[in-house]
Every structure is written in structure tokens, then in C-alpha cells.
Amino acid sequence: MTGKKILVTGAGGFIGSHLAKKLFNEDNFVRAVDIKWDNYIDEKYFSEELTLDLRKYENCVLAVKDMDYVFNLAANMGGIAFITEVGADIMHDNTLINFYMAKACLAEKVRRLFFSSSACIYPTYKQTAAEVKPLKETDAYPANPDDFYGWEKLYAEKMLEAFSRDYGLDARIARFHNIYGPEGTYKGGREKSPAALCRKVSSATEDGEIEIWGDGEQTRSYCYIDDCLKGIIMLMESDYTEPLNIGSDRLVTINELADIIIKISGKNIAKKYNLNAPQGVRGRNADLTIAESLGWLPEVSLEEGIRNVYLWITSELEKVKQKKSNFDTSTAGNICVKP
């Protein structure tokens, strides 16, 4: 994909920042939009930066103006702890963003809109066992997502279907399954399991322990960011108009994921379990049959991808530690004790 005018919303977030960088490096004009900027990519990765609240229609019109393609990744979201606790704000914010972006794309005659949906749309009754069957796109109905975030994403999919039928909006929809990689959130409550576990292991002592949420036997599949980006662009350039799984079909337990990270660290770390912590569904995996028919499958192994994440988070933690050490040293002689 080259030579196009492209908008990436949510460009201050994890997937959005990586996508904007990739599209910019492929000689596109990239307009990057977000309400705040907290990604970790240092070098410039866009042609134009706008700080906008996309919950307002006039800002959406401003964002999409003169664009060929729009990649809408703006959302109020986070890991399992966040989406378990927060419901109303997620549904309010994301519904406004997605509706106004669709409406603005029509008004400004954008050629094609990409929407980032989620595997959270899949019904709980198909995810009650750890040895879960890979979820096909058609498994979304009858609907019963396990959280408000999932319901909001499913509603947005149907809304775009209606915009397509009634007004001819050309949209592409990807259902992301646990996308991970470096330069993303790894602390603060919005991080997802790979980053959280990498942070815990990196912070642990040589013979320490880490906390696992649940019994560790819940299962997930994880897709590395580089593979995800290739899948996004493949879908955007294709003629496929139905929702599509973008993920991995390699199912692992959280215990297995933790063991991979511990092995990379070289530490002798024990695991303890918090059975009262948020866990989400018991098992979730992606069926990639349709994606493969369109010419895409993930290529980066879990071990390779997790190693990249672990090394990056370890580096970030060391920077924080060094900064604190420098601060303590510089202020050590400035303490004044009153008589």
C-alpha cells in the first residue's frame, strides 16, 4: 500500500502507532490522530499529527477530510482488569467514536474504512472450556459477549453493516485476537497478559515468584504485532467485506505463557495463583480458515515475539530505575532540616 492519503485514529496507542509507522515508511501520507499520545515509538512515524477528541462529530470530519483510506483504531479499552471494571464509559465513548467516524467518512467521501473489532464479541457459551474449538467468524451469533466491551464492538460491526447496506460505505472489519508486541502498555492496569507477565518476571528477583490471575489453566492464542499489521493491510486491500479473524491458532495456557517468559529470563521463578482476580473466558482461540484463503497467516512464533517483548519491557524498567537513581543522587544533598 503506497502513495495514498491515510488517516490512522488511535495512533497514540499500541496497534495504531505501529500501523501508522508502517504505512508512513511505505511512502504514504499518514495523518495520525489521537486524544493523547502515550506510545513508545520515538522516531517520527506520520506526516501530520492532530490531537482530537473523536467523540465529537466535527472533529471526525476534520480528521477524515481529504483522506483516501481511514483506519479507525481509536477506542477506550485495555486489558481484562480494565474491561471488567469499566462498562458505561467504554460503551459511551466507543459508540460515539465509531458512529461519528462512519458518518464523517460518508460525508467526506472516503474510499474505504477499516474498523478494529475484537475477539471479545464471541459468545461466552462457546468459550467455557480450556480446550476450546477455534472460533469461526460465524460463531458470533447467537450473540452473548462476556463483557460490555464485546457488546460495544459487536454493535459497531452491525452498525457498519447497516451503513454499507443503506449508504454504500465501503468498510473492512478485523476481529483482533490478543495482539501483542513491544512499545505498548505494560503497566497501569490497561496492559494485557503478555506484557503484564513480562513485567512481573522482569521485576522479580532471581529466586522470586510472580502472581498468576486464576489457576493458570485458562487458554488464549496470541498474535505478534508485525503479523497483525500485515493482516490489516491484506484485509484493507482485499474485496472481503465480512468480519475477519486476525490472530493466531496456537492455543497455550497462561501457565505455558508464563513458563516461556521465565525461560527467556533465565530466572528460577515460582508461580502463585490469585483465584479472585479477573480471568475472562476459560478458553479462546482463532479459526484462520478464511484469513488463509485470503493469503494471510501469522509467521512469528510465540517464543520469538515474547522474547522481543520481554527484552523491551526489561529495557524500559531499567530506564525507570536509572532515572529514579539519578533523581535520588541529584537531590540527596538538598534536604534541609529545620532546627
What are the residue numbers of the active site?
A: 149
CA–CA distance, 46 with 155 (Å, rounded to integer): 31
Cα-Cα-Cα-Cα dihedral sign, residues 176, 177, 178, 182 = negative
Q: Is the dihedral of CA 206, 207, 208, 214 positive or negative?
A: positive
Query: Using CA atoms, how far apart are residues 59 and 54, in angstroms rounded to an integer?
Result: 6
| CA angle centred on 230, ends 27 and 192, rounded to 5° | 115
What are 152's three cell numbers? 460495544
Evaluate the CA torsion angle 92, 110, 8, 234 in order and state its sign: positive
Name residue 297's amino acid: L
| Cα 147 to Cα 110: distance, rounded to the nearest angstrom | 32
Contact 194, 240 (CB under 8 A): no
